[in-house]
Amino acid sequence: MRRTRRRTTSLRTVLSALIVTGACATAGFVPAATATAQPPASDGVLAAMQRDFGLTRGQAETRLATEKAATATERQARKAAGSGYAGSWFTARDGRLTVALADGAKADAVRATGADVRLVDHSARQLDAAKARIDDLKAPTGVASWRVDWQANSVVVDVVAGQRSDNDVKDFLARARRAGGALKVETTDHAPGTLAAGTVGGDPFYTGNVRCSIGFSVQGGFVTAGHCGGAGQGVNGWDGSYIGNIQGSSFPDNDYAWVNVGSGWWTVPVVLGWGTVSDQLVRGSAEAPIGASICRSGSTSHWHCGTVLAKNETVNYSQGAVHEMTKTNVCAEPGDSGGSFISGDQAQGVTSGGWGDCTGGGETWYQPINEILNRFGLTLNTA
């Protein structure tokens, strides 16, 4: 947060409250140098996982450790599978990573990495190519999203309930089938929407009358959602003071933006716990597999956890389709847009949109952080 003479809060608390949302918190920031060993996550992340997954602390720690191991295994297995790689997913029940494989000759090499193998017909490259052809189509509002489903080894299109017989939807599905990729059609009761909100005093940052949440610190600024504002717009903090400008933004097609930080503001590698849980240091951006646990911080609904459900999903908002999104069953609410998705201490992405709320539950999509960093040539701030 911005330094002013009015604020007598210690540097420790200021740093804790600074980056992710710009709002005050009482939980302390613990520099990495003071720790004798790095725990799998902060007490806050573990507490949120216990609440949202019904786990004990020991079970939460074990799950994070097995997910971290699965993330490392996935990289090795993907290399061993080569062109036969057809996706992967983590199963929390047994702590195993499964790799789908379209080339049986590579099965032993993949198993040698510690992963289980499922033989399938279509490689990830084939399915991604089929989905890319569907991405070129213009979807009607009755189509909620489409994605490559690695476990089903197909491209899945979600149609809003009651819209299957709509002529525009039927035409879209006919064209999508011609794209190939073993197309499957499923029904959803919910249409996705973005999660920006009108101005509310005391919240983290504003572009005009829109309130959103800061995602992650990068060198020179922070990243957030693209639908929160366009390039060149000024950004103000929770206290109304000027932070900087949106340097780059894309929405729809993508949903990401980055903001330069100056005027007395600065950045630290912290995701805010909002006083409900302790704050979490960010140590990297290793991508968690499907099935892994994940937590989200936002300025409206604060800390909530869930599971990674799908990757590379195209979400069809009313403003247009957004590509390469990751779907989770973490809840979110208006104003949480742009906020942080984190797995353990690894940054995952920024909140885009979804359906539902944190009373009745729902699903939320995020734009992966590594895509954003690569797109703008940014470097993640890490502890």
DSSP 303-366: EEEEEEEEEEEEEEETTEEEEEEEEE-----TT-TT-EEEETTEEEEEEEEEEEETTTEEEEEE
Q: Catalytic positions, please?
A: 227, 255, 337
Digit-coded pLDDT (tens) for 292-316: 999 999 999 999 999 999 999 999 9
- Banded pLDDT at 138 (limits 50, 70, 90): very high
pLDDT (tens digit per residue) in 34-92: 233 456 677 778 888 899 999 999 999 999 999 999 999 999 999 999 999 999 999 99
- Quote the pLDDT of residue 273: 78
pLDDT of res. 312: 95
User: What is the phi-psi region of residue 133: left when phi exceeds 0, alpha when psi lies from -120 to 50, beta otherwise?
Assistant: alpha
CA torsion 54-58-59-60 (nearest 10°) is 70
The CA-to-CA distance between both ends of the chain, in Å, stands at: 18
> What pLDDT was estimated at residue 180?
75
Is pLDDT of 290 > 90?
Answer: yes
Q: Note the pLDDT tens digit of each residue in 1-24.
A: 333 323 223 222 333 332 233 332
Alpha-helical runs (H) found in the chain = 11-18, 43-53, 57-81, 107-111, 124-135, 167-178, 369-376
What pLDDT is attached to residue 48?
A: 86
Mean pLDDT of 158-171: 93
**pLDDT at 30 > cutoff 90:** no
pLDDT of residue 38: 55
Query: In this structure, which long-range contacts are made by residues 241-250, counting pairs with CB atoms below 8 Å and at least 24 apart in sequence?
Result: 241/2, 241/265, 243/205, 246/207, 247/221, 247/376, 248/375, 248/376, 250/226, 250/375
* Pair 353, 194: CB distance under 8 Å: yes
Is the pLDDT at 115 greater than 70, yes or no? yes
pLDDT interval class at 96 (50, 70, 90): very high
pLDDT over 80 at 25, yes or no? no
**Rounded mean pLDDT of 140-152?**
94
pLDDT of 130 above 80: yes
Q: Which residues contact 83 (CB under 8 A, 6 or more apart)?
A: 103, 123, 125
Average of per-residue pLDDT across 127-145: 94
Residue-averaged pLDDT of the chain: 86
**Tens digit of pLDDT for each residue in 197-245?**
644 333 689 998 899 999 999 999 999 999 999 999 999 988 888 999 9
Q: Tell me what pLDDT residue 2 has.
A: 37
Region 336-351: what's the mean pLDDT? Answer: 95
